[in-house]
Amino acid sequence: MKIKILLLISILFLLTSCKSTEERRKEYQQLGWTDETIERVLSKRIKPGMTQKQVKESWGKPRKINSMISLGRKRHEQWCYGTNAYIYFEGIICTTIQID
């Protein structure tokens, strides 16, 4: 019985915490994102030039993040999605998308 109650509470939490597409659109507009970027994020299509936040909103949290600092003191990151998708960032800006 306790398991059923916990399961029901978990499902209700998930349902109430999910934002609608329109709620997400308004949130992104308030952040100053362009209409093109908003449409890309909502349709899960990323492109170079997007910020880390935009990529994460579009594709979700990466499976793994590899970081390094270059000699010029710039931060470089590789975000790994699944087993064959890699997103590269310089600072917080996406520079390359590699899908094998």
Question: What pLDDT, on a 0 to 100 scale, did the predictor assign at position 9?
Answer: 52
Residue 12 has pLDDT above 90, yes or no: no
Instruction: Flag whether 72 is in a domain.
Output: yes
Give the structural domain span for 60: 20-99
**What's the total number of domains in the chain?**
1
Instruction: Flag whether 66 is in a domain.
Output: yes
Q: What is the DSSP string of the chain?
A: -HHHHHHHHHHHHHHHHPPPHHHHHHHHHHTT--HHHHHHHHTT---TT-BHHHHHHHH-S-SEEEEEE-TTS-EEEEEEETTTEEEEEETTEEEEEEE-
Instruction: Flag whether 12 is in a domain.
Output: no
The CATH number of the domain holding residue 53 is 3.30.1450
Instruction: Flag whether 88 is in a domain.
Output: yes
Confidence at 71, pLDDT banded by 50, 70, 90:
confident
Confidence at 2, pLDDT banded by 50, 70, 90:
low
